[in-house]
Structure 1
Amino acid sequence: MVFILWIIYRPKTVRAHVTAVFPSVFTLTSNSTLVYNFTLHVSIQNPNRKVGLYYDDISAEAQYDSIPFGLVYKFPPFFQHKRNITVFPLVFVGRAFGLRSVQKKFEREKREGWFYVELKICTKMRLKIEFVKVGRYSPEIDCAVKLPVMANGSDVKFERSECDVDKF
């Protein structure tokens, strides 16, 4: 049954982008503690004409030099209608200790004006085809975000980041 519905409706993979960044703090202290406070706006697009999406679970993790430092856990479940874009904020606030290994990379990126942060979003979803909910999918969304260095009084420029979606 599921295979027949899949063949008939041919659901397309969602698309995701980081559309805005609002940094306020991203610094490495002298004792190798990363202090961070920033918000990323992520848009997820459902490109399907005949398929709605139930997101049962969404969690996000930020990484710097492949070291996890921030976790946003458990967004409330929601339904995404056909051919719809949903934008939601991911707020990362906290401290990560013992990051001595990233000191050189941090200083280099600070001089360049951008910090390269990886964003990993894990989801659990189901498809809604007509009146039927089918399948259980766990797509993973990976985004490479260029977090601008905050300079005193300067305008923050941001480059929209396209994300990779796997396992749909």
Structure 2
Amino acid sequence: MSGKCSHHKSKLRKALRKCCACLLVFSFIILLVILLVWAILQPKKPTFLLQDATIFALNVSATNVISTTLQITVLSRNPNSQIGVYYDKLDAFATYHSQQITYYTSIPPVYQDHKDLNIWSPFIYGNDVPVAPFNGLALAQDQSNGAIKLTVKLEGLVKWKVGSFVSGRYHLHVSCPAYIPLGNSEANGIVIGTGIKYQLSQSCSVSV
């Protein structure tokens, strides 16, 4: 009786080993196909351009406090001819020397088709934000120069779409430098209602 049981267990172990081997081979083939398709398609990161910024308020107080209200126009282009991009989550905000000075403004999720272009115009703002002491010298210099160097950032999650295949989520980081006059000067801008619009046409760095 014990001999039959041992024989049965041996067969079961062999069957399990064969199943595991088949699963490993199948997984390897699937992974290889995905890698080959990825290499053939040569996916490229989306490109971003900070087209303009309309300044409704950009003031620096004597106590090194910044108040900012602006509307930005950002262009995003998908350079891929066979890969779509899902923007699942995207937030816009501004920083000054790596210090965040506005709240996050969410951009609605969107799918960007092959070679497609999207334009977003979110408002970003922050009221009476204290500047870190280590940024005080740079801020004083910017005040004397009459312009401030901000960095408009977009951060979120993207997915890639190839045919019916959709990848997992990847973190997207976009950074756009913007050199903007203080005091809403009309010298280099266009009056838009209560704001001044500045054409920037500034390319942004993108990492995924």
Alignment TM-score > 0.5, same fold: yes
- What SS does structure 1 have at the residue aligned with 2:40? helix
The residue aligned with 1:124 is 157
Task: Give the secondary-structure state (helix, strand or coil) at the position aligned to 1:70.
Answer: coil
Give the alignment of 1:16-95 within 5 angstroms: 16-95=48-127
**Cα gap change, 1:4/1:149 in structure 2, threshold over 3 Å: closer, same or farther?**
same
What is the TM-score with the length of structure 2 in the denominator? 0.71
Q: For residues 106 and 129 of structure 2, what CA distance do their matches in structure 1 show?
A: 24
Identity between Structure 1 and Structure 2 (%): 18
Which structure carries more helix by proportion?
2
Does 154-163 or 75-84 show the bigger shift?
A: 154-163
Structure 2 letter corresponding to 1:162: S
1:114 aligns with 2:147: yes
Q: Is the 8 A contact 1:148 1:158 kept in 2?
A: no
C-alpha separation in 2, matches of 1:109 and 1:153:
18
Unaligned 5+ runs, structure 2: 1-29, 190-197
Counterparts of 2:201 and 2:69 in 1: how far apart (Å)? 19
Q: Give the deviation of 1:104 after TM superposition.
A: 4.1
Query: Which of the residues 149, 159, 168 maps onto 1:135?
Result: 168
2:53–2:200 Cα contact (<8 Å) kept: no
Q: Aligned equivalents of 2:203 and 2:130: distance in 1?
A: 30
Alpha-carbon separation, structure 2, partners of 1:150 and 1:158:
17
Corresponding residue SS for 1:118: strand
Q: CA deviation at 1:63?
A: 0.8
Going from structure 1 to structure 2, the CA distance change for 1:103 and 1:53 (only over 3 Å counts) comes to same
Q: Is the alpha carbon distance of 1:150 and 1:32 closer, same or farther for their aligned partners in structure 2, counting shifts above 3 Å? A: closer
Structure 1 unmatched runs, 5+: none
Is structure 2 residue 38 aligned with structure 1 residue 6?
yes
Letter matched to residue 149 of structure 1: L
TM-score of the aligned structures, taking structure 1 as reference length? 0.86
Q: Say if 1:161 and 1:30 are closer, same or farther in 2 by CA, change over 3 A.
A: same
Q: Which of 123, 134, 138 in structure 2 is aligned with 1:105?
A: 138
Q: Tell me, what secondary structure is at the counterpart of 1:47?
A: coil
Task: Provide Cα deviations, 1:17-45, integer angstroms capped at 9, x if missing partner.
Answer: 10011012111123432111111111111
Larger mean CA deviation between 98-107 and 157-166 belongs to 98-107
Question: Which structure has the bigger radius of gyration?
Answer: 2
